[in-house]
Each structure stands twice: as C-alpha cells, then as structure tokens.
Chain A
Amino acid sequence: MLIQHIVGLSGLVAACLFIFGLKRMSSPVTALSGIVVAGIGMVVAVAASFLVVFDLPADVAPNRVVNVMLAVVALCVGGGWAFLRGRKVGMTAMPQMVALYNGMGGGAAAAVAAVELSARAEPTALGMATTAAGALIGAISLTGSVIAWAKLDGKIQNPWRFAGQRIVNGTLFLATVLLGIALVVSSGSPHFALLAILFFAGALAFGVMMTLPIGGADMPVVISLYNAFTGLAVGLEGFALQNPALMIAGMVVGSAGTLLTLLMAKAMNRSLANVLFSNFGDGAAHGGSEAHGEMKSADASDAAVAMRYASSVIIIPGYGLAVAQAQQKLYEFVKLLQAAGVTVKFAIHPVAGRMPGHMNVLLAEAGVPYDIIFDMEDINAEFPATDVALVIGANDVVNPAARTDTSSPIYGMPILDADKAHQVYVVKRGQGKGYSGVENLLFFEDNCSMVYGDAQAVLTQMVQAVKDLAA
C-alpha cells in the first residue's frame, strides 16, 4: 500500500515538473533550465515505477527477476541508442529526428495498449474503448511519423498518389474503427486475438496511407500533428492504466501540439484539412502569374559593398542557407557589417526552415544572438525605411504574388515585405522556382538584383569584398 502511494506521488511530482518545465521553455532566457526540470521529472517517474516490483500480485511474482532485467535492458537499449543518435545528428536534420522519436512514443503507447488488451483481467467497456482508441492513435502516429521521417530524410522522394486514394484511405480508416468497436464488444471471445491483430494492422497501415500522399513541404505540419497524436494516445493509455501522470503529460502535449499544428498551418495560410487532403505541392498543376520585366544579376562583391555603406540591412534567411551550410559565413559577414556601423537585423518568416523556429535554431547554432532576430509581424513595418534587404535561400516567403495575385496558389500567405526595401539582393543558386513551384515576382522588380551562386561561395566573396575595403 505504501509503495502505491509513493509511486502515485512520484507521478504527481513528475506532472508538476513537466508543466513547470514547459513553462520555463516558453522564454529564451529560462528555456534551457526548462528541459532540465522536465528531465528531472522523467527520471523521478521512471525510477519510482520500478518500486512496484516490491509489491507484485502473486501471479506476477515468479517473473519478477526476468521482468526487471528485461526492463533495464530495454531502457538501456532504447534510451542509449536515441541518446547517441541525438548527440550526433546535425541541426538541419533535426525535424526528421523529432519525427522519429515521436513515432517511437506512439509505438510505445500502442504496445502498452496491446499488453493491456491481452492481459486485462476484468475488462470494462470504457477501459477497453479507451485502450483501443489510444492504440489506434498511437499506431497511426508510429507509422505516419516513420513515413514523415523517411520523406524529410530524402528516403522517399515523391508523394505517392493514385485516383480514388481518399476513398481507399477513408474505407481503411472506417474498417479499422469498426474492428476496434468489434474488439471492445467481443472481449473474451475466441476471435479476440484475430480481431486485435487485424485492428493493429489496419491502424498501422492507415498511418502509412495517410502520410504518403502529403508533399515534403507540408511535413512539418504533419510531424506537429503526429506529436499531438502521440500525446493524446499517451493520455488515453494513462486513463486505461489509471495513471494520472500519463494522463496529464499526454493531454498537455496533445493540446499544446494541436495548437502548434494550427499555428503552423495558419502561417502557411492553409487549413489543416487542406494540408492533409489537398495534394498540394504537385507543381505541375499550378497556373501562376506572368512575370513582368526581367531579372537583373549583380556581382557578389558589388552587393557586399552596397551593404557595407548602407545604414540598415535586413537579412531574410531561408532553408537554402542551411542546405549550403552557410550560416557561419553569414554571421561572419554580419559581424563585419556591424563593425562598420551598419544596423543588421534578421527577419524570420514563420515557416522558414522546415519547422517554425527551425531557422532560429540554425542561426543560433552559428552564434547569431537572438535579440537581432525578428518575427515577421515585428519587422515588416521596417522594410520601407531599410536600405538593403538580403534574401538568402528563401523564395516563396518574399513573393509579392501572395499579396496581389488571386490566382496564385500562395495567394493570401503572409509574406515578408522585402520588396519594399530600397534595394533587394537575392542570393540564389539558379533561376528555378520555389518549393511551391510558383514564379517569384520579386525577382523581376526594378529594385531587385540577383546574386547567383551557392550561398557559401557568395558569402565568402562578400566577406572578402568587405575586408578588401578596410585594407
């Protein structure tokens, strides 16, 4: 009895620490301590859950030693592998890593559900239904996240689509839910095991089918959605296990993740349904507007000199910067400009990078202090009074077509008003289109010049040009 109280209280402590930790993570100043606080909560909860071995029911007691050994090995294998992988992974590959870890959490929730369904001594309909619901969501999150990981990691290149896909997926989902209901109703019947296998197979297959048709550009939203799914699944399994810590932690993540997903979808000016079901990012089907005028190109060193003698520069980095691994070089250039008295700011579009805030992480990695990095709504008003806007590796997020061209697929998406700066330089590898496949009207504006080349090479030239001036 005493042990149950201790385990129960440890759950309460863990839940408190999780919420407190999340709260601290909500400000850049306290964020690092936030994850430590949450980590302490996790250690407390995991350590306390081993106490149950001193208070096992008679039928479990003979397995005590084997079970504890299995648990320790599983903790070391799973935790150790993830720890080492997480230490080594590059910051640009972070989104897919989060997807992978998230899928594993979903898989763990599904595994808990499978054990509960198989072992429950006196099943109640409500307990069964909750367990099955958690299993369904967890299993979808597992395979869906793995597909998302494979897409972001470049292991699956193209969206897989066919006619009537939505009908197939809808039927699969419906069949899986019906299997789940049959499972709950038929508890104790001889067909139970077969139903359970079909149910899990259906849920796992649906996760794959649901994610395959979604384009790579939409994966961040999908990962965020599956993050919320896993949270929800964990919360539901928490109820099945009568464990309030799991319920609270799971539900906090479920609601926070849902909100985050909606914020991300909103930043792209798309509804969540649109992301999941519209087959966006096909490229071929897009109309797009006629571009007027022509693109002008400028020399990297000319652009650098122009910025050196400007009084204010706003830099708009995109994922292309990270692909070229040029953040360090960019910051070196920025420091030179700052030393020459130029006010330099970074403007970050909500969907820059591969997740909201991903670009901030990439810049932070290069040492750029976060107080010269600004969100779109905070900086957009400053562009008309800015001498130079430098766009590096970004495209759709500065396309004025989003403001004016109602026929454009990106119409209505909030953009950074780079075109309103006196002079715009766009560092770009070639004349290709952006992720959305839309022609960028900014490139044809009178005040815009293109600097063609790899971001790393261009920035190296820019740094050299500014240094040459000083010498």
Chain B
Amino acid sequence: MTMDTTMTWLIALYIFMLAAFTGYEVISRVPSILHTPLMSGSNFIHGIVVVGALHALLNATTPFAQTVGFIGVALGAANAGGGYVVTDRMLAMFKSSGKGKN
C-alpha cells in the first residue's frame, strides 16, 4: 500500500467520524413529534446512492455493468423520489394553532 492510499484511507475515516457526529447531533435535538418525518427525511438523503449508481452506469463497459447499473439507478431514484414525496407530505401537515385559530 502506497503512502497515497494510506492518506486516502485515513481521510476517509476522518470524514466518516465527523459525519457520524453530525448525524448524532442533528437528531439528538429533535422533538419526538418529528421522528417519523425525520426517519423519512433521512431515508430520502441516503437516496444519494443514485449518484453512485449513475457513476457505475455511465462508466459501464459490459452488458452486466449496464444491466446492474440500470437496476441500481432505478432503485436509487425510487428511494430518493419516494423519500422526498412522503417526507414533504408529512411535513406539510404540521401547523401551529396560531395560524388556524378563528
């Protein structure tokens, strides 16, 4: 393993660590009434996997890579698209009585 890849590996660990703390901090302050929308919202965010699938598909050279890449993009797009709509619908319902009262 060269010096270069060792650094990449270490930087990756730094990124993972900082991201893990970020996720923990953001969620730990959330009131429980928002837990379901938030689970749905985080479900939407890991829909970013569609970008990885697009990378795989657009760089595909074999029919296998094209087929599996196609499935990956379709599944990832469903994750992102569905996650967005469902979260948006849930959050649109939250309103305070300040606006609604008489």
Contact = CB atoms under 8 A, between A and B. Distances in A.
A100 B71 CA distance: 15
Given A31-B91, A70-B57, A111-B56, A25 B34 contact: yes
A52 interface: yes
B79 A254 contact: no
Interface residues of A, number: 123
A60 B59 contact: yes
A26 B68 contact: no
Interface in B45-102: 45-62, 64-66, 68-98, 100-101
A82 B77 contact: yes
Interface string B28-45: 111111111111111111
Interface stretch (A209-217, A362-370, A404-412, A419-427): A362-370
Contact of B42 (A52, A115, A235, A256): A256
A100 B75 CA distance: 10
A372 interface: yes
Contacts of B95: 364, 369-370
A357 interface: yes
Contact of B58 (A32, A50, A244): A50
B3 interface: no
Contacts of A259: 23-24, 27-28
A237 B1 CA distance: 20
A405 to B, nearest CB: 26
Interface string A245-269: 1111111111111011001100000
Main SS at interface, chain B: helix
A98 interface: yes
A253 B33 contact: no
B7 interface: no
B26 A105 contact: no
B67 to A, nearest CB: 9
A119 B65 contact: yes
Contacts of A108: 49-50, 52-53, 72-73, 75-76, 79
Contact of B93 (A66, A119, A263, A361): A361
Contacts of B90: 91, 94, 361, 364
A397 interface: no
A397 B8 CA distance: 50
B97 to A, nearest CB: 3
B72 to A, nearest CB: 3
Interface stretch (A34-42, A184-192, A456-464): A34-42
A79 B51 contact: no
A101 B82 CA distance: 6
B100 A369 contact: yes
Given A97-B82, A102-B79, A108-B75, A22 B34 contact: no
A11 B54 CA distance: 13
Given A31-B37, A260-B35, A355-B35, A104 B76 contact: yes
A46 B82 contact: no
B85 to A, nearest CB: 3
A71 interface: yes
B96 A31 contact: no
Given A86-B81, A364-B95, A257 B42 contact: yes
A74 B52 contact: no
Contacts of A82: 77-83, 85
Nearest to A354: B36
Contact of A25 (B5, B77, B91, B97): B91
A28 B31 contact: yes
Give the residue among B20, B22, B36, B57 with the most A Cβ atoms within 10 A.
B36
Contacts of B79: 82, 101-102, 104-105, 108, 230
A251 B19 CA distance: 6
A38 B45 contact: yes
A354 B101 CA distance: 29
Contact of B27 (A237, A251, A260): A260
Interface of A: 11, 14, 18-19, 21-23, 25-29, 31-32, 34-36, 38-39, 42, 45-46, 49-50, 52-53, 56-57, 59-60, 63, 66-68, 70-71, 73-83, 85-87, 89, 91, 94-95, 97-98, 100-102, 104-105, 107-109, 111-112, 114-116, 118-119, 124, 126, 223-224, 227, 230-231, 233-235, 237-239, 241-257, 259-260, 263-264, 348, 350, 353, 355-358, 360-361, 364-365, 367, 369-373, 375
20 contacts: A32-B88, A34-B91, A70-B69, A70-B70, A78-B75, A94-B86, A101-B83, A111-B71, A112-B72, A116-B56, A119-B65, A241-B56, A242-B8, A243-B51, A243-B52, A251-B16, A251-B19, A255-B27, A260-B35, A264-B35
Pairs A-B, 10 closest by C-beta atoms: A111-B72, A82-B82, A369-B97, A86-B85, A78-B77, A78-B74, A251-B19, A108-B76, A105-B79, A255-B23
